[in-house]
Copies of this chain bind each other. A is one copy, B any other.
Amino acid sequence: MPVHLSPPDAASLHPVSGVRIGVAEAGIRKAGRKDLTVMLLDEGASVGGVFTQNRFCAAPVQVCREHLTAGAGADIRALVINTGCANAGTGAAGLEAARRTCDALAAQLGVRPQQVLPFSTGVILEPLPLERLQAGLPAALADAQPAHWLKAAEGIMTTDTVPKARSVKASVGGAQVTVTGISKGAGMIRPNMATMLGFVATDACVAPGLMPQLARALAESSFNRVTVDGDTSTNDSFIVIATNKAGHAPVQSLQSPEGQALFAALLEVARWLAQAIVRDGEGATKFITVQVEGGQNAAECRQVAYAIAHSPLVKTAFFASDPNLGRILAAIGYAGIADLDTEKIDLYLDGVHVATRGGRHPDYREEDGQRVMKQPEITVRVNLGRGAASETVWTCDLSHEYVSINADYRS
């Protein structure tokens, strides 16, 4: 049961001028599934991307990096996404299959293969069924419509239980712009139907050279701040598309007023999509915000936040609604800050002051902790008492269902 996450209403997802989406059944892994999605971009769109840091990165990730570098993200015309096979751990043959995928779609669109970005999600170590994928492309192209965002959100799902899509409108440089995005995933890596994918498009006008920075900055405050199990997929990809249709002067800098307005709208969508992955996390029953403040720098705040968010003991305590809060202190203690002074640490669970000066707060009562732990949404707030930096990470609990999903997958 996802935590406070319902399927989006198709009418709430605004089309983005310059983007058309088509979905088809290609039978990649199983028959009768919508497993192939194409996203077609009008000429003139700017595209930026951020990809997995996993050294075993999948073949399509390698090809995406090449194609974005080759054209500096200014000439991309199509994205093609398959589920059912990650095309990762597949060596030279996998790379060739990813390239052939681009060739096939490019030929049908009359563009160059370098203008296509491929994405795959599914089982690792198995070859991509290239012929079935290619055979499915005409149906996907025939299906392409601006209004198909919900279909796309459904088309890229693997073991997600809810399609994830979000849309907002904002004013940028005097024009009204639309931001619409989709994501999939239920962990940094979902079973080995691996992978988190995120695609956000806007009709706003953005200088192509700004796109890599925009993608990185958005990912840093959204997809790079969520974790289910700490596993990083071989295929993680986040793509930002600006179709440059909204008719305002192109955004040249993220610091300008119009840059800030656009960034805020994009971040709202990206963060919602990232949090949706946690809300639909494998077996999740609680949505946990871990907020670490009072650090000397952002990096040490993240270290502590991830130590808490990744601790199986903390996560099972949340699942059990057990205010076993010593586990959080223990995680703070082993997060790796060598000169951490535990005497300066405060711990709060929502509004409840649990620990101070390295020990239990004198006013803390177990029933207060219990009350917060029973909620479906909980904020853990840690003050390290060392400085002014802060960071926030979102995660979920660790339940029986997580083990079931991951143990039973592939069967």
Contact surface of A with B, Cβ cutoff 8 Å: 53-57, 86, 88-94, 123-126, 189, 191-192, 194, 229-234, 310-313, 316-317, 319-320, 322, 324-327, 329-334, 337-338, 340, 342-343, 355, 357-360, 398-400, 402-404, 406-411
Residue of B nearest to A283 (CB): B403
Q: Which residues of B contact A325 (CB under 8 A)?
A: 125
Alpha-carbon distance between A7 and B314 when the two chains are bound, in angstroms: 30
A406 touches which one: B194, B310, B317, B358 (CB < 8 A)?
B317
Q: Which residues of B contact A399 (CB under 8 A)?
A: 403, 407
Question: Contact between A55 and B125 (Cβ–Cβ < 8 Å)?
Answer: no
Q: Which residues of B contact A407 (CB under 8 A)?
A: 316-317, 319-320, 322, 399
Question: Contact between A86 and B326 (Cβ–Cβ < 8 Å)?
Answer: yes
Residue of B nearest to A337 (CB): B55
Query: Would you give the shortest CB distance from A317 to chain B, in whole angstroms?
Result: 7
Question: Contact between A360 and B55 (Cβ–Cβ < 8 Å)?
Answer: no
Assuming the A-B contacts A327-B124, A402-B403, are A409 and B56 also in contact, with contact meaning beta carbons closer than 8 angstroms in the complex? Answer: no
Residue of B nearest to A314 (CB): B231
A410 touches which one: B57, B322, B338, B404 (CB < 8 A)?
B322
Assuming the A-B contacts A231-B312, A319-B407, A403-B402, are A326 and B124 also in contact, with contact meaning beta carbons closer than 8 angstroms in the complex? Answer: yes
Question: Contact between A232 and B330 (Cβ–Cβ < 8 Å)?
Answer: yes
Query: Would you give the shortest CB distance from A208 to chain B, in whole angstroms?
Result: 29
Assuming the A-B contacts A56-B333, A403-B399, are A90 and B360 also in contact, with contact meaning beta carbons closer than 8 angstroms in the complex? Answer: yes
Determine chain A's interface SS by DSSP, over half rule: loop
Assuming the A-B contacts A313-B231, A333-B57, are A326 and B89 also in contact, with contact meaning beta carbons closer than 8 angstroms in the complex? Answer: yes
Question: Contact between A90 and B322 (Cβ–Cβ < 8 Å)?
Answer: no
Q: Which residues of B contact A194 (CB under 8 A)?
A: 326, 330
Alpha-carbon distance between A342 and B92 when the two chains are bound, in angstroms: 12
Question: Contact between A358 and B89 (Cβ–Cβ < 8 Å)?
Answer: yes
Q: Which residues of B contact A124 (CB under 8 A)?
A: 326-327, 329-330
Q: Which residues of B contact A232 (CB under 8 A)?
A: 330, 333-334
Question: Contact between A191 and B333 (Cβ–Cβ < 8 Å)?
Answer: no
Question: Contact between A320 and B229 (Cβ–Cβ < 8 Å)?
Answer: no
Question: Contact between B94 and A359 (Cβ–Cβ < 8 Å)?
Answer: yes
Query: Would you give the shortest CB distance from A281 to chain B, in whole angstroms?
Result: 12
A55 touches which one: B234, B340, B402 (CB < 8 A)?
B340
Question: Contact between A234 and B359 (Cβ–Cβ < 8 Å)?
Answer: no
Residue of B nearest to A364 (CB): B125
Question: Contact between A231 and B330 (Cβ–Cβ < 8 Å)?
Answer: yes
The interface centre, meaning the residue of A57, A194, A409 with most chain B CB atoms within 10 A of its CB, is A409
Q: Which residues of B contact A312 (CB under 8 A)?
A: 229-231, 312, 398, 402, 406
Q: Which residues of B contact A126 (CB under 8 A)?
A: 326, 360
Q: Which 9 A-B pairs have the closest CB atoms?
A: A124-B326, A56-B333, A91-B359, A320-B407, A316-B406, A54-B333, A232-B334, A125-B326, A55-B333
Question: Contact between A93 and B359 (Cβ–Cβ < 8 Å)?
Answer: yes
Q: Which residues of B contact A404 (CB under 8 A)?
A: 400
Alpha-carbon distance between A410 and B317 when the two chains are bound, in angstroms: 10
Question: Contact between A333 and B411 (Cβ–Cβ < 8 Å)?
Answer: no
Question: Contact between A231 and B334 (Cβ–Cβ < 8 Å)?
Answer: yes
The interface centre, meaning the residue of A56, A311, A342 with most chain B CB atoms within 10 A of its CB, is A56
Alpha-carbon distance between A311 and B312 when the two chains are bound, in angstroms: 11
Question: Contact between A403 and B329 (Cβ–Cβ < 8 Å)?
Answer: no
Q: Which residues of B contact A54 (CB under 8 A)?
A: 330, 333-334
Alpha-carbon distance between A316 and B313 when the two chains are bound, in angstroms: 16
